[in-house]
Structures are given as C-alpha cells and as structure tokens.
Amino acid sequence: MNKHYSILHISDLHKGENNDFDHLFASLCNDADSYDQDIPKPEFIVVCGDLAEGANGEDAEEKIVKQYQEVESFLDKLVRHFLNGDKSRIIIVPGNHDLYRGATIRSMEAIPDDIRESAKERYLKGDPQYRWSWKDFCFYLINKEEEYASRFKFFVEFYNRFYEGIRTIDDCDMLNKVIDFPEYNIAFATFNSCYRIDHLNQIGAINSKAIVESQSKLSKVFKYGRFIVGVWHHNISGIPTQTNYLDPRVLHSLMDFHIQLGLYGHQHHTEALYEYHDIFKQGRMTLISSGCLYGRGKTMPEGTHCQYNILEIEQSEEKVNVTLHVREDETAWDIPSWRRKLIEGKDSYSMAFNLPTIDYSRVLADCISQAKVEKNYKEAIENLTSAATLISIRNNEATANKFIDEFLQKISNHDICTLEFEPMTIAQVIAVMGASIETRNWDTFDKAAMSADKHGLQNWQTNVLIEEANKIR
C-alpha cells in the first residue's frame, strides 16, 4: 500500500472587511500550478482556526455573520478546485477569533468589593467560573452559563451549514471528532483548543473530557494501522509576557492516544518541532504550525509575511515520510505572491514516522463485539472483508470467515446482494446465491458462481442453486 499525496495546511484566515478572498483564492490556485513537479496536488485541506476576524459594537453580530458567509464561499471554492467538491476531506477547527466576545461579556458580572477576597481565593485555586480583569482591576463571575456556552454559535452555525449531511457540531467545547480515511490510511483527530477562552482569558486549553471521549475512536483507528494527525489552533509555547498558548501537558495525553503529528496555527509563522513524552516511553509527537494565511496590519508579527504549508505524504506499508514545504507571500500586497520559503537553508524539511502494527486479532474481536452489541451485521461483514477498512482481517485471521458465515444468516437478501465482497466459504457462496435468486440479482449470482469455481467451493447445494437459477432465467 504505497500512497503519495499532499495536505494543504492553512490557518488564521482572519476574514475582515478589507480582505478580499477572491484575490486569495486566485493566488492559491496559481501557486499550486507552480509546485515542484514531484509534489502532488492536495488530497486534504486542514484549516486550523481563526476563519473570521470577529467584531465589536452594535452591529457586531451582522458583521460576523457576513464574515462567515464570505469564508464559506472561499472554502467552497477551495474544495471544488483542490478536492473535486468532496467536503469530507477538508478538516476545520475553531480559533480564538471564532468565538463571539459579546456573548462572554454578557455572561459575566463584576464581583463586589465586599466579597473580593473570597473571589480571589477561588480564582487562585483555579475555579473556572472566575476571571480577573487587569483593565478594571476587578474579579468577574460567569453567572450566565448558557450565554457563555453560546460564544461559538456563529462558528457552529457556519460549520453545520458547510458540512450539511457530512458532520455536525453540537457542543464546540467538546469537539473531539476522529475522521477516518481508510483509502489513505490516515485519520484526523480534531479538538477545540479555545476551551474556556473569552475576553478575559486567553490561555489555550483543550477540554480533558473531550480528549477522554476520543480515546475509543483513536484506539480503533490505531488498531487499524492508521497514521493519526491531531488538529487544533494554539501553539504550545510563548514568551514570558504571553499567556495565549496551549498548556503543553495536554500533549502527553495526545501522544498516549497515538497521535503522531500535530497541526496548528495561531502564532502566525511556520514552525516545526518535536515534543518528547519521556525517556522511558520514547514517545514522540511532531508539531507543525502554519503561518497566517491572509492577515494584514496588526495581525502580523513584525517582519513576518503570510504563509501556508504543503505537507507531502509518502506512505509505505510500514512508514510515513512527511516533507514540509512552506509557501510565503513576498509582497504583502492585495494579491499574495507566493514563493518557496527556505527552512534552515533548505527547500523543505522531511520527517519519518513508523506506522502502527495492525493487531488483527484485536480488530476481529472488536468487530465481533460491535456487531453483537449494535446488531449491525452488514457493517460487520464489510469490516471483516475489508471493504470499509482496507485491511484484510479475514485473510489474516482465519476464524473471521466463521463469523461472516454466521452474520450472513442475520441480514436480508437485499443487504446480502449489496455487499461488495468475494465469498470464500461454501456457506458464503450458498448465502449469496440464495439471496441473488430471491431478489433476481443475476449479476451478484454470476459473481458468486465464478468465485465458487475459482476457489473450488462447489457441492450438491451450489449445484442445485445453479440449476434453479438457470430455470428461472
């Protein structure tokens, strides 16, 4: 299974009134035509937050709605151009600019001076309901939880509208989607690193409950041998005067849950670095930041230009090689002019990852358990015959065929005829032939007959079914 493709990694779009996304789209399309010939066009797009710029004032909500409408149009164009219109292959997470600060302001009240000491004590103990404002020199209490929880409402509305029929978000603070792409042997784990961020708190964090809830899904794709990529918004370090970065302790859990590569943005410049778990586990996660895609003015650090990344993926049976290519705008004009940015004096930077060894016995056990609990025997057959997983469970675990034989007896004739698998036992041949006769699906019948002949799976029952089919036909 050799794969060669690329990921378009962008972040910090900061859609404001003065950013023309038509200009940006045209520049990205033109730049893609100038990639080195050996860099394949993107098969995925990863957007690491700050889609909108946000707004304040009386007409803030109208401005934000308009920003997301323009972002949606831009991303629609990107998907059509690079991904043939397949929105399932664009991965989006929120950034700190994607929350509505008007909601967080309305959700808090100032703490009176007579209970200031009590508030101070609770604040210093880490009570998540309390905030400190240096501007007002005052403590605040989040006393309207529903209002506070609505701070991502505009992003959620955009997300659910954009992905209609594909994926949805209900509670943005609990974002923990694991999006699996078996045909590429890659899975993306998405998180919201803006958990508890508001107008008074800029410290990045991922809800620990969201990470825990992702464990079973991450464990499953790990067992299937996937290369797992984490996606969030915040960087994990900053200068002493800053607080708006992610607590790096969260990386230990992400590494424990088998994430090997982390993609983020926020800091407005490209960076690639390693984070080690500890000397005993030898765990490692590689972190790659994308620069600001289209910021202008105060959003850009001094001396920094707009940037985005191309991650070239070369995957074999046992390894994944990731090569980072950085594109940088040299002009800071209305229409970006992208050029290759050198990384430590080189055109690109390469890193290698080992793919997990597929535990076929555990995968088989999980499939059987899930089938019996959920009563979804058709999906179980698809998993066992690799149509959904791209790994040959039954070719590596001989007992899998016993369960396929059993599960075929539990699904309808119509479902049997819609399965895309090759019968490998007499029981499977008989089940498919019988279902094909009942539904008059002669294409499926002929395929089963060919499989029986190919693998020597004939007996008196298959002969009777062939005779019966010939009479009816």
Hey, what's the torsion of the CAs at 417, 418, 421, 423, to 10 degrees? -10
Distance from C-alpha of 435 to C-alpha of 201, rounded to nearest angstrom: 62
Q: How confident is the model at residue 2 (pLDDT cuts 50, 70, 90)?
A: confident
**371 and 337 together in one domain:** no
What is the C-alpha R_g of the chain?
A: 27
Do 377 and 462 fall within a single domain?
Answer: yes
Given a cut of 80, is residue 312 above it in pLDDT?
Answer: yes
188 shares a domain with 231: yes
Task: Return d(Cα 318, Cα 309) in angstroms, integer.
Answer: 25
Q: Which of 22, 2, 14, 3 is nearest to 334 (CA)?
A: 22
With vertex at residue 380, the alpha carbon angle to CA 356 and CA 370, rounded to the nearest 5 degrees, is 75
State the average pLDDT over residues 48-67. Answer: 91
Q: Note whether 163 and 131 are same-domain residues.
A: no
* Positions of E strands within 14-137: 42-47, 90-92, 108-110, 130-133
Within 393-459, where are the H helices? Answer: 393-396, 400-408, 413-418, 426-439, 442-455
DSSP bridge partners of 355:
none
Tell me, what amino acid is at 340?
R
What local confidence, expressed as pLDDT, does residue 281 receive?
Answer: 67
Q: How confident is the model at residue 42 (pLDDT cuts 50, 70, 90)?
A: very high
- Asked whether the CA dihedral 368, 370, 372, 377 is positive or negative, the reply is negative
Residues 76 and 188 in one domain: yes
CB 419 within 8 A of CB 382: yes
d(CA 134, CA 314): 50
Query: What is the C-alpha to C-alpha distance for residues 371 and 392, in angstroms, rounded to an integer?
Result: 18
Q: Do 76 and 134 reside in the same domain of the chain? A: no
Domain count, the chain: 3
pLDDT of residue 105: 94
Q: What percent of the chain has pLDDT over 90?
A: 64
- Per-residue tokens: 156: 């959620």
Across the chain, mean pLDDT equals 90
Q: Across residues 40-64, what is the average pLDDT? A: 92
Give the 3-state secondary structure of residue 259: coil
More confident residue, 392 or 106: 106
Within this chain, do residues 129 and 249 fall inside the same structural domain, yes or no? Answer: no
- Of 354, 389, 415, which closes a domain? 354
- CB-based contact 178:188 (threshold 8 Å): yes
Q: Which range of residues forms the domain containing residue 138? A: 108-143
Query: At a CB cut-off of 8 Å and minimum separation 6, what does 325 contact?
Result: 35, 39, 309, 310, 311, 312, 340, 347, 348
Give the per-residue pLDDT at 358: 85
Residue 6 has pLDDT above 80, yes or no: yes
Helix (H, G, I), strand (E, B) or coil at 194: strand
Which pTM value belongs to this model? Answer: 0.87
Q: What is the CATH number of the domain that holds 206?
A: 3.60.21.10
d(CA 236, CA 216): 25
Tell me which residue of 309, 241, 332 sits closest to 10, measured CA to CA. 309
Is the pLDDT score of 71 beyond 80? Answer: yes
Say yes or no to pLDDT of 87 above 90.
Answer: yes
pLDDT band at residue 17 under the 50/70/90 scheme: confident
Model confidence at 8, pLDDT cuts 50, 70, 90, reads very high
Are both 191 and 319 inside the same structural domain?
A: yes
**What percentage of the chain carries pLDDT values higher than 70?**
94
Strands 349-354 and 319-329, by their bridges, are antiparallel
Q: Could you tell me if 349 and 440 lie in one domain?
A: no
Whether residue 274 has pLDDT greater than 80: no
Residue 278 pLDDT > 70:
no
Q: What is the pLDDT of residue 179?
A: 97
